[in-house]
């Protein structure tokens, strides 16, 4: 009886060992397959592919969301106008962005239980952190989850686009140490002497 049990255990051990060895050997060939399988779950632009303008309430929600993501208390009017122009350009000229930004504003307002822009800063952060919307980064492994598709789409597409627009503005360039963004004339005498 004892001999039969040890034989069964040895067989089971050898099966597990050989299966592991086959898995390790075949892993380099499986990686591209798994990568392409994951491509099907990567966030995509929501439909329909229409263009147009957002409502003032939706625009305000997106601007406040960008403020929270950028960790700036209040944007200047110049920065807000730059972002409005960017958002309008996207929604009026590029298909999919109207649906994306509308979905983002609606979802964020739902998180706030009404109007996101009316919440205090700490409540805004708490509402966004609760659903993981304080980050733009989406890891590929997250894409396999059937839950949180809308949140991943917002982070990967809307938040990334809004933050990229912010960092292209004068305020965004100032964050990284430039007094004037590219394409704007600065103090011309600055170029005649060494930087301090």
| Segment 44-58, tens digit of pLDDT | 778 888 889 999 999
Q: Enumerate residues 6+ apart whose C-beta is below 8 A from 191.
A: none
> Does 83 reside within a domain?
yes
pTM, two decimals, is 0.72
> Does 35 reside within a domain?
no
> Does 95 reside within a domain?
yes
pLDDT of residue 88: 95
140-189 confidence digits (pLDDT tens): 667 666 677 888 888 989 999 999 999 888 787 777 766 666 666 666 66
DSSP class of residue 157 equals I
**Among candidate residues 164, 196, 162, 160, the one with its CA nearest the CA of residue 179:** 196
pLDDT of residue 77: 93
Does residue 38 carry a pLDDT above 60? Answer: no
> Does 111 reside within a domain?
yes
**Among candidate residues 80, 78, 51, 53, the one with its CA nearest the CA of residue 65:** 80
> Does 8 reside within a domain?
no
Task: Give the chain's domain count.
Answer: 1
> Does 65 reside within a domain?
yes
Top-confidence range, 47-51, 74-78, 86-90, 125-129: 86-90
- For 112-140, what is the mean pLDDT? 86
- For 113-138, what is the mean pLDDT? 87
- For 81-89, what is the mean pLDDT? 95
Distances (CA, A) of 96 to 49, 123, 148: 5, 30, 20
Pairwise CA distance, residues 61 & 124, whole Å: 11
> Does 45 reside within a domain?
no
- For 89-113, what is the mean pLDDT? 93
Question: In which domain, by residue range, is 60 found?
Answer: 56-175
Q: How confident is the model at residue 194 (pLDDT cuts 50, 70, 90)?
A: low
- For 127-137, what is the mean pLDDT? 85
- Three-state SS for 104? helix
- Three-state SS for 85? helix
**Among candidate residues 93, 81, 83, the one with its CA nearest the CA of residue 53:** 93
- For 20-30, what is the mean pLDDT? 66
Does residue 22 carry a pLDDT above 70? Answer: no
> Does 75 reside within a domain?
yes
């Amino acid at each position: 009886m004892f001999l039969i049990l040890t034989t069964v255990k040895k067989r089971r051990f050898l099966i597990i060992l050989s299966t592991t060895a086959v898995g390790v050997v075949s892993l380099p060939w499986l990686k591209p397959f798994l990568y392409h399988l994951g491509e099907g779950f990567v966030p995509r632009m929501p439909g329909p592919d229409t263009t147009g303008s957002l409502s003032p309430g939706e625009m305000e929600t997106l601007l406040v969301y960008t403020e929270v993501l950028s960790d700036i208390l209040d944007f200047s009017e110049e920065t807000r106008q730059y972002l409005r122009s960017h958002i309008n350009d996207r929604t009026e000229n590029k298909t999919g962005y109207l649906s994306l930004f509308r979905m983002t504003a609606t979802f964020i307002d739902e998180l706030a239980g009404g109007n996101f822009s009316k919440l205090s800063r700490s409540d805004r952060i708490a509402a966004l952190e609760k659903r993981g919307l304080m980050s733009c980064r989406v890891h590929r492994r997250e894409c396999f989850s059937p839950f949180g598709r809308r949140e991943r789409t917002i982070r990967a597409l809307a938040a990334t686009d809004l933050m990229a627009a912010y960092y292209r503005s004068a305020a965004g360039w100032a964050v990284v140490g430039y007094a004037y963004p590219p394409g704007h004339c600065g103090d011309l005498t600055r170029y005649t002497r060494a930087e301090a």
